Chains A and B, each alone.
Chain A
Amino acid sequence: MSVLTVRDLHVTYPPGVRAVRGISLEVGAGEVLGVVGESGSGKTALALAVLGLSPSGADVRGSVRLRGRELVGRSDAEMSLLRGRDIAMVFQDPLSALTPVHTVGDQIAETIRVHAGATRRAARTRAVELLDLVGIPDAPRRARAYPHEFSGGMRRRVMIAMAIANDPVALVADEPTGGLDVTVQAQILDVLRVAREATGAAVLLITHDLGVVAGVADRVMVMYAGRAVETAPVDQIYHRPRMPYTIGLLRSLPRADGTVRPVPIDGAPPSASAPPAGCAFAPRCPVALARCGDTVPEPAPVGPGGHRAACFNIEATADLDAVFPHRPAARRPEAPARHRRPVVLQVEDLVRHYRQRRGGPVHAVDGVTFDVRAGETLGLAGESGCGKTTVLMEILRLARPQRGRITVFGEDTAALAAADRKRLRRDLQVVFQDPFSSLDPRMRVADILAEPLSAHGMPGPKIQLRVRELLGVVGLQEEHACRYPRGLSGGEAQRVGIARALALEPRLLLLDEPVAALDASVQAGVLELLDELRARLGLSYLFVAHDLAVLRHVADRVAIMYHGRLMEIGAASAVYQRPAHPYTRALLDAVPLPDPLRERKRRRIPLQGDPPDPFAPPAGCRFRPRCPRYTALRNDALRRRCETSDPALHVLDPSVDRQVACHHAEGAK
């Protein structure tokens, strides 16, 4: 018996943006339905419509039934009685969903009192119980804290506690792990499991991340351009997907185990204001038939367990490789051994502390040493706040660092004159994370690409030629030249960012999370482009990413950063296959695998706690407060070593390119 039933739901936002175009779904008690879609697929519009929270002016048609009661068409006052009691939501951004001026305990108690009419005291007690349930340590005391006193992960927990406060029968979670580090994401997914078991609620889990869904959901619905294109039990979706879009989405995911290279889906999703007449995916579909362009396929049964897919060419999708074949890696030119290649970037014992008005200095970067040699990619990974972006900015400043030394192409940045610095900027370029905020909204693509050229004194006619050439290099059309950034899709905008970085023919590119803001299917395309450019133009990359799965496919060497220090650095194959540092291991363990079977079987050592505040690091090893290996140590002498001495990077095995900063590294004698 399903708890939440949606039938033929249509949501249209003014002016004529058809966000949801006929969705039907059912979620039973205690079941988790994962709704997966890229940005613009209408998944958030679906969530809002289910909760009756669509913005005013939105046209909602169809039926949403909660235990048989129709919700569509109810007034906001009626819905308010239901929301929070029978159906609850976990919002994506807990900072804006919690009131900053009340303590979290009061806010949870308030939801209980409004709906259950409990006494103040009973509600407070229950609030503390709930906070305890979602894993907030020292709940009675923390209940009296304000939202800003919690970290991002802890705020999510509070949100979940509030959502389950009245034992709802249905729970809608919109991107509950969006914007979190993998380690915290794993914790929150665990909390969601706890919440479902505690309430027995039907859960609608909305996310763009197929990896998140794999371990949590029972069934999965894939959305594309406002429609459900495939619905199936979770194992079916991952192992026997039938809709080409699902196949493409799965194949575009970078995997931390590095078994297969991600395959991009070419093209971009259609505009929601003018959806195509036929199958919305047809223009990007490699196995589209003639009639796909003019008739919309209805979901039809294709497998056991209610597996339905909306596709005409279902025969062609039996063999996944026939739809989106794996592509071979870009051929890399034969390179001499690493120690023979010249060093293009050397960072020695770099320190960057920020002074604060109150409190001590922030130790953003606290002694980091690494080098990048010609033609290679060094991946720099770590949780948010570990200082990886600060390292990048320090290099880009091309100035004397607070402490330590930065050498770019053999030139010490501390000794550079202004003219030398400008000359060096041609060789050293950067690509930022968010393609939209890195492009000036008031300039056309052609002007954006021309800017570095004219700044370095290239004459006008030559600039035009070079701009056209750059567009071709990154796979854009000439018509893109006169668009403004807002007229571009995310992938296109990031290509413009890359083209701008390439304009001056640099030899070293610093990439700051270049694909983190992109959808998976687009992400794979940009990664492929970067790979190809590196091989063709002989570039070296310093690739900063939080996503170890992405780095697996691009990096030759990886450096793992924690709290302003490197924990482990070495050849990517060595680090991924046999992580020696407990932090590296924990990070790898937390990366969700897009494979439900292996995801369930995985033996995890979850990392406790949050990424540290970058204030004064603890004495001894700075990872100690969260370190599972330290906790497992039984010998007091060994423990004391972690508590008193700060481990330096050292080589474990001379035959392997790897250094570790741990007293008890795996594989050490």
Chain B
Amino acid sequence: MSGNGARGRGPQGGGHTRGDGMSDAGPLDLPSPRALAARRVLGNARAVTGLVLLGLLFLLAFAGPLVSPWGHDEIDFTAFRRPPSPEHWFGTTGSGRDVFALTVRGMQKSLLIGLCVAVLSTGLAAVVGAVAGYLGGWVDRLLMWGVDLLLVLPWFLVVAVLSPALGGRWPLLIPLLAAFMWMVTARMVRGMTLSLRHREYVLAARFLGVSTPRIIARHILPNLASLLIVDASLGVSVAIIAESALSYFGYGVRPPDTSLGTLIADGSGTALAYPWLFGFAGGLLVLIVVAVNLTGDGLRDVLDPAAPQHPRPRPRPRTPRRYGGRT
């Protein structure tokens, strides 16, 4: 529909456009929402710390192999299970492989799997939950039926059965893991959407003729942001752990390739005797989770409208009177 305000409508139609002494009708000088959000993220100490830490971890994971003298699949037959030394920065494994090379290689996998799975599964949960909750009716029933079905499937077995089909293509693990992680969140999102869809600002948008996808994208999802961010940051660690469990049983990332989970699993049995086999991989996993959670908390604060944004925050004057039951 092309409605550009130029509607023929009797003598009163033009009445709206008579401004009240607002002769200089230039465009409003508003910072764009994106620039505003970026500025606020940069002003938040936690978000900045988290993002910088995350950046450093990525740098380590992807630049590490370039500076390491050893490759992750090379074997030093002169050094078996040696502690960290100038030759082998993080020491070596029982089979003579360089732990630094293995760890950064594993971090590449874990970072990508963790972040991608979390974003993907939370995104899927948000869309499915919000659509089901907002539309209701048979769409809701159908989607929730699918959610319940996925919930009762033993995901580990399914992934294990499908895993030979993946061959060596480990990135396929990402959609596979994400496909089994979103259901509980989707149910939560649906529940919260059910209460949001009767909010007056959602009704107002509907009565203004705003389309359904746009209402979900602009009114429902932003108001669930806190939940979604928390869910995504928790999802990162869950995904990394799920991947390591799969790898432990030989279904995920396969040798000679490796992931943090595999390294931790391999090293955990001898963690006290040979701490470098376990400590570096474990410590970096902790750092990843801390960085993600700091970023998540920071983003949540930034997106929260209750956070002070104006020089003079005013207490909200509203009378408690409320008449008329609304259904």
Which A residues form the contact surface with B (CB < 8 A)? 17, 38-40, 92-93, 175, 178-179, 181, 208, 268-269, 271-274, 354, 364, 384-385, 388-390, 396, 419, 421-423, 425-426, 428-430, 432-434, 436-444, 446-447, 451-452, 455-459, 461-462, 464-469, 472-473, 475, 478, 481-487, 489-490, 497, 500, 502-505, 507, 512-513, 516-519, 536-538, 544, 546
Contacts and interface: CB of A to CB of B under 8 A. Distances in A.
Given A446-B28, A457-B1, A505-B5, A40 B315 contact: yes
Contacts of B3: 423, 426, 456-458
Contacts of A40: 315, 317
A482 B19 contact: no
B141 interface: no
Given A39-B318, A518-B319, A538-B15, 17 more contacts: A271-B315, A364-B327, A422-B209, A434-B200, A437-B201, A455-B209, A456-B1, A457-B3, A458-B4, A468-B28, A469-B19, A486-B305, A486-B316, A487-B310, A489-B317, A502-B16, A505-B16
B319 A536 contact: no
A438 B223 contact: no
Contacts of A364: 327
Contact of A272 (B222, B315, B324): B315
B309 A487 contact: yes
Contact of B321 (A179, A455, A482, A502): A179
B208 interface: yes
A30 B287 CA distance: 69
A517 B326 CA distance: 15
B273 interface: no
Contacts of B321: 178-179, 516-517
A451 B199 CA distance: 17
Contacts of A269: 317
B319 A517 contact: yes
A392 to B, nearest CB: 10
A455 B209 CA distance: 7
Contacts of B219: 440
B27 interface: yes
B19 A464 contact: no
B21 A441 contact: no
Nearest to B309: A484
Contacts of B2: 457
A605 B30 CA distance: 57
Contacts of B16: 469, 473, 502, 505, 537
10 closest Cβ pairs, A-B complex: A538-B12, A464-B27, A438-B200, A425-B209, A452-B208, A472-B22, A455-B210, A432-B200, A440-B201, A441-B305
A483 B324 CA distance: 29
Nearest to A180: B323
Nearest to A390: B327
Nearest to A614: B325
9 contacts: A39-B319, A396-B203, A423-B3, A438-B203, A455-B205, A457-B2, A465-B27, A505-B13, A546-B323
A451 B215 CA distance: 10
Q: DSSP majority for the B interface?
A: loop
Interface residues of B, number: 63
Contacts of B310: 483-484, 487
Question: Most chain-B Cβ atoms within 10 A of its Cβ — which of A444, A486, A512, A518?
Answer: A486
Contacts, number: 217
Contact of B25 (A385, A465, A482, A517): A465
Given A384-B325, A389-B326, A268 B201 contact: no
Interface string B198-216: 0111011101111100100
A442 B209 contact: no
B137 interface: no
B313 interface: yes
Interface of B: 1-5, 7, 9, 11-13, 15-22, 25-28, 30-31, 33, 199-201, 203-205, 207-211, 214, 218-219, 222-223, 225, 303, 305-306, 309-310, 312-327
Contacts of B207: 396, 425, 428-430
B30 A446 contact: yes
A38 B319 CA distance: 8
Contact of B314 (A271, A429, A432, A497): A271
A504 B208 contact: yes
Contacts of A39: 317-320
A517 B303 contact: no
Nearest to A271: B314
A390 B327 CA distance: 8
Given A178-B321, A432-B203, A440 B28 contact: no
B327 to A, nearest CB: 7
Contacts of B309: 484, 487
B318 A425 contact: no
A498 B28 CA distance: 19
Contacts of B25: 465, 468-469
Contacts of A518: 319
A438 to B, nearest CB: 4
Contacts of A423: 1, 3
Nearest to A374: B12
A386 to B, nearest CB: 9
A574 to B, nearest CB: 25
A439 B320 contact: no
A33 to B, nearest CB: 21
Nearest to A386: B324
Given A451-B218, A469-B22, A437 B199 contact: yes
